[in-house]
Structure 1
């Protein structure tokens, strides 16, 4: 029977830790070139050298003195007895920022290995690292790796297993920085600090598994340690002592760098030239908006071209299925259900797959290139004026892909109040599920400029989120200040594997949704539109759906959406935003709604009931702002820990969507 052990991967955000974890496990986890992605630990398992190894990818952290939820998750795991070996993943191209966490981990006195990642960048920049000397100074194995090219993986795992099997592994025996003498510990502080540490160690000897670490954390005013040992009559904590410990750590790190860095780093001229514009408050935002406009131009131009072929395939499939069913003498109502209900609903959504795939590819390139970190950085000043940390923009950017992980990413925020505010405003970002709605209505009513009609919704979504964050700030009695700490990585060519994993994960999710939620919604909607109190009917205007829609259509009259078909489509869209499109196809009995013929047929039917271009824009606007999908609502409930907060968020989003859309329609009606 193989022996089991647990290896924890820990490191700063953006050090390539998750990429390294993926290289071992093959897991299709989210990988991005900016902080805040991994907000909960991920696990995988491999078998190696007679061991069953549980690998745990911990949230990125700069320090063990926890403030955010992600840092708390990491610290709690490391302090438990679950971890057998720690693999500290450090960005070798930015060693100075990585070694602070390394020193803290060494002070935990647990078996560990230091993995120097991104060695390819080190070589490219002409940096010479004396890895053997670094290992001697720190007293732990130091292994060079390049995670994205899968270099050094076997050596790293072998070193971790050796640390686990060596009974003396936790007794690090570092060399003195300027001699070959064995040191008792890696870092010895000034005599005054060491006296304070010794006094605290003595008092905590019987209650702490690592009294020296507990003493250091007490002097650092660590919240968890302060809460745990506040009744033990320990020395008064002071800012001066805390600063001395931090400064002495960094002085020691600088001495290490002077010892092990033999080459001079070449500056990254490309990054510097781009950042001269990208990091400017005004031009950085202009650049971001231009880039996103380019993304949507590609989404519409290339996506629509490919969609044309998908439409042809679905048209052939529909005709083929219809012919087969007729030849089998299938009942008319069943043919109608399959062809006009299921295939029209699901097939209509699948025609948008090329557009959505193009969007995902573009977002993956922006993330993995290092650009999205700059977006969060330039938004920091704006977010601070709104009473939020610059970190709050990270969930908002994630919201372009999907609202569910975006809401989960709110865990990266330090304050519970900030997390809840971000949960309220993140759904206003245009997730990929809203894109089919934009494509359909923009294509029907704004055929000359569909991209700009859709792009305006993305800009409005960002603007509304920021405006509402500012308004909500004024309801807070006290706004906490948490400065943004974010690494700006060098620009790099995106990894094809990373982009592929990201895009496939999103496309797979879209296809699963089409095969489950949208499939089920199409059947249910067909039943409600083809049955009435009298039974089966082909006149959907007397169906259950029509009666329900007419009963509530008055609510949306001020918004320009007081049509029973629109009411039914919007209610169905709460299950998933794509269902709005599939519902429109079923309600107006249009096969292949995204095709030219389908759009033209639906356009004529909408115009016949008085639904024009202004109504279409208000429809897109309402879909942007109203209640997010059920999965997002469930995530809000889980992350906030409150059903009451979820219901309040629903009421808030309905109020905002109704109010804004009404204003736009009423003002627009004066000019149209």
Structure 2
């Protein structure tokens, strides 16, 4: 008989660690249908017929965040055979709020009190027998990190599931509240199961469903609710929230014994006094991340990536494959497809993998030890000023290395509006693949001036801030940022297994998603550049016949679009357009494409060979606009694939891509037209359009913030209460 067991608990209570320990490698990761929340399920070790479902970390079953909606819908609609409720033993009182809601579902529950090794070390005592009697469920002490007690918890859950034993509701609220709950239960329709009626009755009273319709049909119940609210001088939602905590407090004295501690501050508190200090937090964070990126991008990661690109593929695999296919007499088009399309495409992806893995290793360690949670807390004060939460900073930070994992990191943001806005703006931060474009423009037009580099990052940050302010004033993103509720777990040394598992999951996702998209796009680009019409016949072209390629025809057809940006001088506008389009495939393609277009088979990373040719077809102002366009427009295909996956909605995906390209075009146009006016005095229709765009942007930035004042987050009160 197959058994479904759900894991439920607060964020950072050790739920994922327990899931990994119970399932090992027998797990599957995807997204819940219709949403971007990650879905994990796996088979219990030694039990092929027992499925473990890892629900999102949540604070309650009230649907105020996407995670809470997903968890509640699964528990109500799927009705797992049992629930393992993971509770943080170091903060048990706050964790029990969710537990009281779970036990109202009428599903067998095993409570796993986690982090008991830390509890024992602190001298505190949790009396499991008393806690189990008070709550009416099995209670098992565990340490998910060390693996103690987890098998016992799983066995008890399987046994309960097989017995189909319902959890008794031994807890109750104050008599006045209980009477109203009972009255609402009696008015519920017969389509709601008996064991679920109490849960639905309470949800109705908490006003997260259509209680008004029920009240119209039951004036006697409506009178009881009014009487209850008058007596407690509050709304039913707050009354029930308060009564839950009253109940929890009433059992804590008997079930938990706190040690008499002379030292008030824990080790974590002492560390936090430094790393979350108002003045020291940001400098410390800057030093930490400098070291992370110095090792992963500049030193160790750079060495591994250079070896992969230059030696493994550049000297061994690609020349070897070229020689092999030539010796066996393979057709030129097939050799080009396999060597230049397939192998080079795979190499373009794998070249970034060593850097990404080193970066993921550092980030996994910082996340597991508890520091990244502090970073989000530190940045929240700044990000909230322009409509985002502190959690948005992590994806943007990761995105400075590569946009793909940066976009994927946005799934840690609970609020759907904030998540979507973060996905749309994360790739504005220059990633590693954009650095060659910055070096190319700085070298060809500005004598390698350092300001070009730092101004690129300034433009990216400014685009994020302005986008946050502007988008928050639209109906799609209206409303104040969601209340920032985040668990700050105690600092601890992560296990090697958990860190390596995190690195593998992120790395494999990067290889799988980025690899397939870039591989396909590279093959398409090879075909467009290698085939065309010469003397009226279509066929494969020589290297010097690039002007006749399909890609050249496409570039010529779209070159007029970029004329207002100054890219069409000297009749070479199609080359600028082609280079920009190739950047949509992979940003590092831009320099290589320029090399091919200007007749250089191979170019350095900064494109030094083509500086002179490029300077003849663009002015410095137009070149800087070209740089900004490539920084802000839609990212590479791999990152676009990640955006599509995380948005999980085609309309939202195209809105994000359209916004990025539109903003890039407008900013590049303003740079060229206003810059040309200042440097040469030239004034025309394009200049007028640029001033109109600037006026529109200023209006959108400074217009009254009406939407956020009229809308409020209805879960703020209950989330603050839970915190």
* TM-score higher than 0.5: yes
User: What is the match of residue 173 of structure 2?
Assistant: 189
After superposition, the Cα gap between the structure-2 partners of 1:43 and 1:462, relative to the gap in structure 1 and judged at 3 Å, is farther
Cα distance per residue 1:500-548 (max 9 Å; x no partner): 2222233333433565333332332222222221233222233221232
After superposition, the Cα gap between the structure-2 partners of 1:228 and 1:376, relative to the gap in structure 1 and judged at 3 Å, is farther
Q: Pick from 201, 205, 219: which aligns with 1:215?
A: 201
| Bigger RCO (CA 8 Å, 6+ sep) | 1
User: What is the match of residue 658 of structure 2?
Assistant: 651
Structure 2 matches for 1:513-662, cutoff 5 A? 515-534=515-534, 535-538=539-542, 539=544, 540-553=546-559, 555-556=561-562, 564-575=574-585, 598-599=604-605, 602-610=607-615, 621-629=628-636, 643-662=650-669
After superposition, the Cα gap between the structure-2 partners of 1:353 and 1:441, relative to the gap in structure 1 and judged at 3 Å, is farther
Say how many residue pairs are matched. 639
User: What is the match of residue 238 of structure 2?
Assistant: 243
Counterpart CA distance in 1 for 2:612 and 2:419 is: 43
User: What is the match of residue 76 of structure 2?
Assistant: 79
Counterpart CA distance in 2 for 1:454 and 1:370 is: 33
Structure 1: gaps of 5 or more residues:
32-36, 173-184
| CA deviation after TM superposition for structure 1 residue 655, in Å | 1.9
User: What is the match of residue 200 of structure 1?
Assistant: 184
| 654-663 vs 222-231, which moves further | 222-231
Counterpart CA distance in 2 for 1:127 and 1:520 is: 58
Counterpart CA distance in 1 for 2:153 and 2:614 is: 68
Counterpart CA distance in 1 for 2:357 and 2:645 is: 29
Matched-pair contact (CA < 8 Å) for 2:103–2:167:
no
Q: Pick from 402, 405, 408: which aligns with 2:408?
A: 405
Cα distance per residue 1:597-628 (max 9 Å; x no partner): 7437x420344332899888766643432114
Matched-pair contact (CA < 8 Å) for 1:614–1:665:
yes
User: What is the match of residue 327 of structure 2?
Assistant: 327
User: What is the match of residue 177 of structure 1?
Assistant: none
Counterpart CA distance in 1 for 2:146 and 2:271 is: 26
After superposition, the Cα gap between the structure-2 partners of 1:365 and 1:160, relative to the gap in structure 1 and judged at 3 Å, is same
Cα distance per residue 1:437-468 (max 9 Å; x no partner): 32575499679999998787566544422321
Counterpart CA distance in 1 for 2:443 and 2:499 is: 32
User: What is the match of residue 256 of structure 1?
Assistant: 251
Counterpart CA distance in 1 for 2:577 and 2:57 is: 44
Matched-pair contact (CA < 8 Å) for 2:21–2:144:
yes
User: What is the match of residue 506 of structure 1?
Assistant: 506
Q: Pick from 46, 68, 86: which aligns with 1:89?
A: 86
User: What is the match of residue 128 of structure 2?
Assistant: 131
Task: Give the 3-state SS of the residue equivalent to 2:49 in structure 1.
Answer: strand
Q: Pick from 16, 19, 22: which aligns with 2:17?
A: 19
Structure 2 matches for 1:105-116, cutoff 5 A? 105-116=102-113
After superposition, the Cα gap between the structure-2 partners of 1:69 and 1:228, relative to the gap in structure 1 and judged at 3 Å, is farther
| CA deviation after TM superposition for structure 1 residue 75, in Å | 0.9
Counterpart CA distance in 1 for 2:658 and 2:557 is: 20
Task: Give the 3-state SS of the residue equivalent to 1:428 in structure 2.
Answer: coil
| CA deviation after TM superposition for structure 1 residue 104, in Å | 1.6
Cα distance per residue 1:120-155 (max 9 Å; x no partner): 332343333222322222221111222233322211
1:292 is aligned to 2:292: no
User: What is the match of residue 362 of structure 1?
Assistant: 362
Counterpart CA distance in 2 for 1:30 and 1:374 is: 27
| CA deviation after TM superposition for structure 1 residue 483, in Å | 1.8
Counterpart CA distance in 2 for 1:64 and 1:652 is: 35
Counterpart CA distance in 1 for 2:68 and 2:558 is: 47
After superposition, the Cα gap between the structure-2 partners of 1:570 and 1:17, relative to the gap in structure 1 and judged at 3 Å, is farther
| CA deviation after TM superposition for structure 1 residue 79, in Å | 1.7
| CA deviation after TM superposition for structure 1 residue 292, in Å | 3.0
TM-score, structure 1 as length reference: 0.82
| CA deviation after TM superposition for structure 1 residue 71, in Å | 0.5
1:226 is aligned to 2:211: yes
Task: Give the 3-state SS of the residue equivalent to 1:148 in structure 2.
Answer: coil
